[in-house]
Each structure stands twice: as structure tokens, then as C-alpha cells.
Amino acid sequence: MDIHVKNENGEVTVTLAGRLDTTTAPALDKTIAEELGGAKTLIFDLKDLAYTSSAGLRCFLKAQKTMNRQGSMKLTNVSQTIMEILEITGFTDFLAVDTQE
């Protein structure tokens, strides 16, 4: 999985490509922990994310908890496959999600 981070004056965009699972999630956790200090908005660009397991959902959950205290968080460019996972696991109830156009 590829993780790309852009930080512009507290607006952090994390672009993910590939599969987010127990092997790759720890790297994302680490990135988030390093980058979130002072972040006002956090955007996950999931255009090229092919799959997420529970480990990935836990990353989003953790990030959401942090951002609830200091700003806001959003998942963007969510593909239909990922959207389906978010929907059936009930994650759309508490994560802000924009689907792919």
C-alpha cells in the first residue's frame, strides 16, 4: 500500500492506494500519529484504495476520535467497493464520506 501525505497549513490530505489490512495498517497508524498534531482538517483520499479490512477501519476510527477533538475529518473519492464495506459495517453512520463521481 502507498501512503502519500500533504500538509497545507493544518489541512492534511492522506492519499491511500492499494490494500489496507493488518499488514499495512500499522504504517498508516504511524503516519497519522505523526501528522495529526495541529491538524484542523483531515482528508483521506481513497480513490485508489482497493480494499480495507477491520484493521483499516480501526485506523479511520482512531483518526476520527482524534479529529473530533481538534477539527474535522472526511473520506473522499470513496469507490463503490469501499463504500459497500463502510455501509454494511455501519461506518457511514459516523464517518463523513464523499463517494467517487
Partner 1 sequence: MFSVSTKSENGILTAALSGRIDSVNAAEAETKINAAVAGCTGAPVLDAAELAYLSSAGLRVILRLKKAYPGLKIVNVSSEVYEIFDMTGFTEMMEISKAYRKVSVEGCEVIGEGANGIVYRIDEDTIVKVYKNHDALAEIHNERELARKAFVMGVPTAIPYDVVQVGELYGSVFELLNAKSFAKLMIAEPEKTDEYAKQSAEILKTIHSTVLKPGELPDKKAEAVIWAEFCTEYLPADVGEKLLRMMREIPDTQNMIHGDYHIKNIMRQNGENLLIDMDTLAMGHPVFEFAAIYLAYVGFSCIDHNNVKDFLGISYEQARAFWNATLRSYFDTGDEAFLRSIENMSAVIGYARLLRRTVRKSRDSEEYKTKMIDYCKNTLCELVPQTDKLYF
Half-sphere exposure of 81 (CA within 13 A, CB side): 10
Binding segment toward partner 1, per CB under 8 A, in 7-15, 36-44, 69-77, 85-93: 85-93
- Cβ pair 73, 63 in contact under 8 A: yes
Which residue, 6 or 30, has its beta carbon nearer to partner 1?
30
The full 3-state SS of 41-83, as one line of letters, equals EEEEEEEEEEEECHHHHHHHHHHHHHHHHHCEEEEEEECHHHH
Binding segment toward partner 1, per CB under 8 A, in 2-10, 34-42, 70-78, 89-97: 89-97
Residue identified by cell 492506494 is 17
Task: Establish if 85 lies at the interface with partner 1 (CB under 8 A).
Answer: yes
From CA 18, how far away is CA 96, in angstroms rounded?
A: 21
Task: Establish if 58 lies at the interface with partner 1 (CB under 8 A).
Answer: yes
Which residue, 13 or 66, has its beta carbon nearer to partner 1?
66
Question: Which of 7, 38, 54, 96 is in the footprint of partner 1 by CB under 8 A?
Answer: 54
Question: Which of 17, 57, 71, 97 is in the footprint of partner 1 by CB under 8 A?
Answer: 57
